[in-house]
Amino acid sequence: MSKEITNRKDNYSQWYNDIVNKADLAENSPVRGCMVIKPHGYSIWEKMQGVLDKMFKDTGHTNAYFPLFIPKSFFSREASHVEGFAKECAVVTHYRLKNDEEGKEIVVDENAKLDEELIIRPTSETIIWHTYKGWIQSYRDLPILVNQWANIVRWEMRTRLFLRTSEFLWQEGHTAHATKEEALEETRRMIDVYADFAENWMAMPVLKGTKTDSERFAGAIETYTIEALMQDGKALQSGTSHFLGQNFAKAFDVTFTDQSGNLEYVWSTSWGVSTRLMGALIMAHSDDNGLVLPPKLAPTQVVIVPIYKKEGQLEQISAKANELKQQLQEKGISVKYDDRDTQTPGWKFSEYEMKGVPVRLAIGPRDMENGTLEVARRDTLEKEFISQDQAVEHVSQLLENIQSNIYEKALKYREDNTYTTDDYEEFKDILNNRGGFVYAHWDGTAETEQKIKEDTKATIRCIPVDGDQQPGKCIYSGQPSSQRVVFARAY
């Protein structure tokens, strides 16, 4: 077992890095903060993309593509946006290299300096709203429901694979509407899509709520978020949907003629999820043996491994395995039959365990005699022998079972690590020593939020939109509070 990984309890952070590395998900590149997403990691991202893309199309959106580069001046147009986004970013200043005078090296050609620097997009509101100005004249041109799949660069000083990288992949929806109500409805629709995806595909329970002023997207009037709890008791913001009001329409002067002939500014939203979801997926379910994937997002759902000593045995096992593979594929299940002779069954077992394949079937000569096979489930590591005749039915059900089991397990973990308190000492003790989500009253001020952050390193993850919305008194200041909010330390 060269692939041993660090135990979660010993060093959670190293455990995460080990899984990303040893399950072949991603690796650091020679460019600081940028990652290489390896084939296994990318195939999971592709599954996520496929599902999300269908959800977006089912809710009326189409894809488009906008430039990677944004003229520097665009960032100054929306006042709060520039503060939030135009700082740590990659700046293109030149457009040509040349051989140096000795001809040994290539150097930047100082004659090829851009008149205006270009910024690699850290998010695309500005370039998109500049473009929408040309697309929108009348109410007939609305709504515009567009999404973009793209790479994004935000220069980060401390990076972690998937969770925080200078370049990452994401989707960003940018919609334009005739009315405030319609834009608000869209904002909420998309956070619901994200919550649906997180819970029903990633098997990851999430809290849904709005952000406080200080945590809001730069340029937004309201930011909706979904927040998941990782196994170290820290929260991970997994998706956001922003109601932008008329801010970007005003910044880029985008108006339309309404049905009464009046000229109005357009209302807008934006919403996005990124390869950060890969980090969430890894941390939500994995264990000390490696990656655990929800069957619905596993690129390979079932692997079949033959166990044999002689060639004749392999032939017989392969016939059965290929038959099974075909039957499972007919049910829409993705199956890999690994009959490589360059690796032992033991090596394969630990490899697929590490990579999170939900179900492993093993067939040996004795199984062929008995008409049985061994089924191992990745989530609980339980094994059992079943009849070959029942295999297809059994595996189909098992995949559903694993999907719901890991969701329930994650939900139970969250419930076990969710606290409600009105006592500030207890509040600090939980956040400083135990972790998890803490429901507490807050007076609504940025000052209190900041003080609590200094005491506990925790931030307000969201103001929940569901559940208990009783008023009370702020846990820190004693001032009136309209409802409990959720505190946690976060990624």
Among 7, 95, 400, 469, binds a second copy (CB under 8 A): 95
Contact between 38 and a second copy per CB under 8 A: yes
Residue 445 near residue 485, CB atoms below 8 Å: no
Which helix (DSSP H) or strand (DSSP E) does residue 27 occupy? strand 26-28
**One of 1, 9, 30, 330 touching a second copy (CB under 8 A):** 30
Among 67-75, 314-322, 445-453, 472-480, the segment contacting a second copy (CB under 8 A)? 67-75
CB of 244 to a second copy, least distance (A): 20
Q: Should residue 352 be labelled a site residue for a second copy when binding is judged by CB under 8 A?
A: no
Residue 218 interacting with a second copy (CB under 8 A)? no
Measured distance CA(440)–CA(444) in Å, rounded: 12
Comparison of 130 and 377: residue with beta carbon closer to a second copy: 130
Which structure tokens are listed for 377? Answer: 């489930």
| 92 scored as a contact of a second copy (CB under 8 A) | yes
* C-alpha–C-alpha distance, residues 485 and 472, integer Å: 11
Residue 76 binds a second copy, judged by CB under 8 A: yes
Which of 85-93, 330-338, 420-428, 447-455 is the region at the interface with a second copy (rule: CB under 8 A)? 85-93
Among 7, 54, 60, 98, indicate the residue that binds a second copy (CB under 8 A): 98
Residue with tokens 């999907």: 403
Q: What 3-state class would DSSP assign to 32?
A: coil
Is 21 an interacting residue with respect to a second copy (CB under 8 A)?
A: no
Nearest to 211 by CA among 431, 470, 464, 457: 464
User: Is residue 299 reached through a cis peptide bond, with omega within 30 degrees of 0 on the bond before it?
Assistant: no
Contact 235, 283 (CB under 8 A): no
Q: Binding of a second copy at residue 54 (CB under 8 A)?
A: no
Binding residues for a second copy, rule CB under 8 A, total: 63
- 79 is a contact residue toward a second copy (CB under 8 A): no
Among 5, 19, 37, 229, binds a second copy (CB under 8 A): 37
Q: Which is nearer to a second copy, 40 or 189 (CB)?
A: 40
Among 7, 54, 60, 67, binds a second copy (CB under 8 A): 67
Minimum CB separation from a second copy for residue 185, in Å?
21
By CB under 8 A, tell whether 118 contacts a second copy: yes
What is the smallest separation between the CB atom of 140 and a second copy, expressed in angstroms? 5
Cα distance between residue 241 and residue 129, in whole Å:
17
Cβ–Cβ under 8 Å, residues 473 and 454:
no
User: Which residue in the set 4, 60, 65, 80 belongs to the binding site for a second copy (CB under 8 A)?
Assistant: 65
Query: Closest Cα to residue 193, out of 180, 181, 206, 182?
Result: 206
CB of 175 to a second copy, least distance (A): 12
Contact window for a second copy (CB under 8 A) among 39-47, 175-183, 223-231, 306-314: 39-47
User: Taking the alpha carbons of 385, 387, 392, 396 in that order, is the dihedral positive or negative?
Assistant: negative
Minimum Å distance from CB 87 to a second copy?
A: 6
Residues 6+ apart with CB under 8 A from 146: 61, 62, 63, 64, 128, 173, 174, 175
Pairing of strands 418-420, 372-377: unpaired
Q: What angle do CA 389, 394, 397 make, to 5 degrees?
A: 155
Q: Quick one: 350 or 405, whose CB is closer to a second copy? A: 350
If binding is defined by CB under 8 A, does position 96 make contact with a second copy? yes
Which position has the token pair 């929408």? 132
Strands 167-177 and 144-153: antiparallel
221 and 245 Cβ atoms separated by less than 8 Å = yes
From residue 231 to residue 270, what is the string marking binding to a second copy with x (rule CB under 8 A)? ----------------------------------------
Go through 64-88 and write b for each residue having 16 or more CB atoms within 10 A of its CB, e for each that does not.
Answer: eebebebbbebbebbeebbebbbee
Q: Which amino acid is at 363?
A: I
Judged by CB under 8 A, the stretch of 23-31, 361-369, 406-414, 426-434 that binds a second copy is: 23-31
Q: Which of 71, 84, 365, 472 binds a second copy (CB under 8 A)?
A: 71
Residue whose tokens read 């997002």: 297
Binding mask 197-216 for a second copy (x = CB under 8 A): --------------------
Between CA 93 and CA 85 the distance in angstroms is 18
**Interface pick for a second copy out of 4, 7, 14, 88 (rule CB under 8 A):** 88
Helix, strand or coil, per DSSP, at residue 38? coil
The residues that touch a second copy, with contacts defined as CB under 8 A, are: 27, 29-31, 34-39, 41-43, 45-46, 62-72, 74-76, 82, 86-98, 105-106, 108, 117-120, 127, 130-131, 134, 140, 146, 150-151, 153, 155, 167, 169, 342
